[in-house]
């Protein structure tokens, strides 16, 4: 009997979370002629339990042969996963490639394909590092699904104030003005009604001081990931020197640069790695067209900016440079994702048992969930502090006055 097909199907179902189907064939013992040595174990009365050959037994009916119905079940379940993934991909392609769909929607859905995007919405073990309060969870779920935010009304504006000016979306600059599309010179760049109700502005509002929320948590997370790969890592302000180390310092044209942390592993390289963490909106209004078309991702712009500013200074210090760029949908940029996946592949390859490989897989999943949680908390904080008025909110505590 040719068992290649059986092994492939059961392996796929194991990866797809179908332990029952995989168990039907994992314990098959074949003799030299390819037949099962024994059938399913009898119950206490000495009879074979109904369905054992399909879901609980060794893979054969009472005669000791192969249960072909079980094989069909395995392949059928695997096909369901394949068909479901294909359907999702078709739906995704239909959205992002349709020119009639809003640019912000297309850019948003492209960003959800990045590694780690939306991972916080799929947590299976509650832990303090992946917990969100109800308000933050709802904000993230609505944002990931590209739904209008329930807290936003037509009157909602930004209350963010910077050192020298207020946000162009501030209520004082748009009094009673319904958000409008680009096109009128007398109106500063605002958001369309769709973008307004979806709350895309608060994903990247640079006013009010809340844009840096979660930055320290993000840097700590990068060091934890590096330590999981065997590196020595530390969150610290790394002074790199001038942007262009071949020129004299100038505060305007050649400023000093800094990194957010450093890690290194002598077993891999004599050069340490300086990293810089950043979180950027996935639907930046000045770059909607390239983001919507798929030519670029928001994290790529961030990586280019960081590398241009700090890579040469790092090299002059005999260090490598890496940008950990996160999008507001929780996705990880190409540089960090490549480093993350490569090292977890190495870690999985070094595993000496199936149980250890599962632990490596679970560790990888947890790191992505923690990263997504950090971004979700940051998104909710910006919106909570910079959006006003909102449609209701948290239930207030009872007043101190006694009413009789």
| 259 CB neighbour count, 10 Å cutoff | 25
Same domain, 66 and 117: no
Let me know if residue 64 belongs to a domain: yes
Instruction: Note whether 104 and 50 are same-domain residues.
Output: no
Can you give the pLDDT at residue 20? 45
ω into 157 cis (within 30 of 0): no
Q: Is residue 79 part of a domain?
A: yes
Question: How many Å apart are CA 146 and CA 140, to the nearest integer?
Answer: 10
Q: Are residues 256 and 139 in the same domain?
A: yes
Final residue before a domain boundary, out of 84, 118, 140? 84
191-205: average pLDDT? 86
Same domain, 59 and 167: no
**What crossing angle do the helices spanning 354-386 and 215-228 adopt, rounded to 10°?**
170
* One domain, residues 79 and 104: no
What is the rounded average pLDDT of the residues 144-152?
A: 91
> Could you tell me which residue, 51 or 121, shows the higher pLDDT?
121
User: E strands within 227-297?
Assistant: 232-242, 256-264, 272-280
How many other C-beta atoms are found inside a 10 Å radius of the C-beta of residue 129? 16
CA 218 to CA 202: how far, in whole Å?
19
On the question of pLDDT at 251 being above 70, the answer is yes
Closest C-alpha to 202, from 140, 290, 261, 116: 140
- Mean pLDDT calculated for residue range 387-402: 85
DSSP assignment of 336-351, as one string? HHHHHHHHHHHHHHT-
Looking at the 3D structure of the chain, how many domains does it have? 2
The answer to the question of residue 101 being in a domain is: yes
Distances (CA, A) of 333 to 115, 324, 326, 377: 8, 7, 6, 19
pLDDT tens digit sequence for 321-351: 999 999 999 999 999 999 999 999 999 999 9
Q: Taking residues 84-101, report their average pLDDT.
A: 88
Q: How far apart are CA 212 and CA 278, in angstroms?
A: 9
Res. 213: pLDDT tops 70: yes
Q: Residues of the chain with pLDDT > 70: what percent?
A: 77
Q: Are residues 174 and 286 in the same domain?
A: yes
- What would you report as the CA-atom Rg of the chain, rounded to the nearest whole angstrom? 27
DSSP class of residue 332 equals: B
Task: Output the pLDDT for position 168.
Answer: 82
What is the C-alpha to C-alpha distance for residues 78 and 11, in angstroms, rounded to an integer?
Answer: 10
Q: Is residue 247 helix, strand or coil?
A: coil
Binned at pLDDT 50, 70 and 90, residue 372 comes out as: very high
| Residue of higher predicted confidence among 34 and 381 | 381
Q: Among 58, 84, 110, identify where a domain stops.
A: 84
Q: pLDDT tens digits, residue range 118-140?
A: 999 888 778 889 999 999 999 99
Q: What is the pLDDT of residues 268-292, one digit of tens each?
A: 899 999 999 999 999 887 898 999 9
Give DSSP secondary structure letters for 217-228: HHHHHHHHHHHH
Domain that holds residue 270: 97-391
Boundary (domain end) residue, out of 84, 114, 138: 84
In the prediction, which pLDDT does 306 show? 97
Supply the mean pLDDT for the chain: 82
Enter the tokens of residue 89: 């991909």
Per-residue pLDDT, 97: 93
Q: Which residues of 308-347 are buried (b: 16+ CB within 10 A; e: fewer)?
A: ebbbbbbeebebebbbbbbbbbbbbbebbbebbeebbeeb
Please indicate, yes or no, if residue 404 is contained in any of the structural domains.
Answer: no
List, in sequence order, every beta strand (DSSP E) within 93-215: 157-158
Question: Residue 398 domain-assigned?
Answer: no
Q: How confident is the model at residue 393 (pLDDT cuts 50, 70, 90)?
A: confident
pLDDT at position 69, please?
66
Which residues lie closer than 8 Å to 92 by C-beta, 6 or more apart? 109, 113
Task: Clarify whether residues 207 and 329 are in a common domain.
Answer: yes
pLDDT level of residue 181 (50, 70, 90 thresholds):
low
Indicate if the pLDDT at residue 248 is higher than 90. Answer: yes
The three state secondary structure string of 164-192 is CCECCCECCCCCCCCCCCCCCCCCCCCCC
User: Do residues 167 and 295 share a domain?
Assistant: yes
- Residue 73: per-residue pLDDT: 66
For residue 85, what is the enclosing H or E element?
helix 68-96
Residues 201 and 249 in one domain: yes
Is 80 in the same domain as 105? no
Say if 179 falls within a structural domain: yes
- Asked if 57 and 34 sit in the same domain, the reply is yes
User: Mean pLDDT across the stretch 54-78?
Assistant: 58
- The answer as to whether 397 is a domain residue is no
pLDDT score recorded for residue 142: 93
Confidence band of 204 (pLDDT split at 50, 70, 90): confident
pLDDT at residue 169 tops 80: yes
Count other Cβ atoms within 10 Å, centred on residue 146: 18
pLDDT of residue 236: 96
Could you give the CA distance from residue 140 to residue 118 in angstroms, rounded to a whole number? 8
Q: What is the DSSP string of 309-323?
A: HHHHHHHHTTEEEEE
Residue 401 lies inside a defined structural domain of this protein: no
Strand partners, 232: 264
- Do 61 and 127 fall within a single domain? no
Q: How far, in Å, are 8, 83, 257 from residue 80 at the CA level?
A: 15, 5, 52
């Amino acid at each position: 009997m040719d068992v290649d097909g059986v092994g492939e199907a059961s392996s796929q179902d194991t990866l797809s979370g179908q332990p029952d189907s995989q168990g039907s064939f994992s314990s098959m013992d074949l003799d030299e002629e390819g037949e099962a040595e024994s059938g399913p174990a009898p119950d206490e009365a000495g009879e074979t339990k109904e369905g054992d050959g399909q879901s609980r037994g060794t893979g054969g009916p009472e005669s000791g042969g192969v249960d072909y119905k079980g094989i069909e079940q395995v392949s059928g379940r695997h096909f369901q996963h394949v068909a479901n993934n294909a359907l999702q991909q078709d739906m995704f392609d239909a959205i992002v490639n349709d020119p009639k769909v809003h640019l912000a929607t297309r850019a948003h859905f492209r960003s959800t394909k990045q590694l780690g995007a939306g991972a916080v919405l799929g947590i299976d073990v509650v832990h303090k590092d992946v917990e969100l309060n109800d308000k933050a969870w709802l904000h993230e779920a609505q944002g990931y699904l590209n739904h209008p935010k329930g807290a936003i009304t037509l009157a909602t504006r930004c209350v963010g104030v910077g050192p020298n000016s207020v946000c162009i979306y501030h209520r004082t600059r748009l009094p009673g003005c319904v958000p409008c599309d680009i096109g009128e010179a007398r109106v500063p760049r605002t958001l369309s009604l769709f973008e307004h109700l979806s709350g895309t502005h608060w994903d990247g509002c640079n006013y009010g001081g809340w844009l840096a929320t979660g930055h320290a948590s993000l840097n700590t997370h990068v060091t934890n990931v590096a330590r999981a790969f065997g590196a020595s890592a530390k969150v610290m302000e790394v002074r790199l020197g001038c942007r262009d180390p071949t020129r004299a310092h100038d505060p305007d044209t050649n400023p000093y640069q800094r990194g957010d942390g450093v890690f290194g592993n002598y077993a891999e390289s004599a050069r340490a790695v300086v990293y810089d963490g950043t979180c950027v909106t996935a639907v930046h209004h000045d770059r909607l067209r390239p983001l919507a078309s798929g030519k670029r991702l928001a994290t790529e712009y961030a990586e280019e900016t960081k590398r241009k500013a700090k890579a040469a200074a790092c090299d002059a210090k005999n260090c490598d440079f890496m940008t950990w760029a996160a999008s507001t949908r929780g996705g990880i940029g190409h540089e960090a994702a490549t480093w993350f996946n490569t090292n977890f592949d190495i870690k999985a390859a070094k595993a000496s048992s199936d149980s250890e490989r599962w632990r490596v897989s679970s560790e990888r999943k947890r790191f992505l969930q923690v990263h997504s949680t950090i971004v979700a908390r940051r998104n909710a904080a910006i919106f909570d502090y910079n959006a006003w008025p909102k449609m209701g909110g948290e239930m207030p505590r009872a007043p101190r006055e006694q009413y009789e």
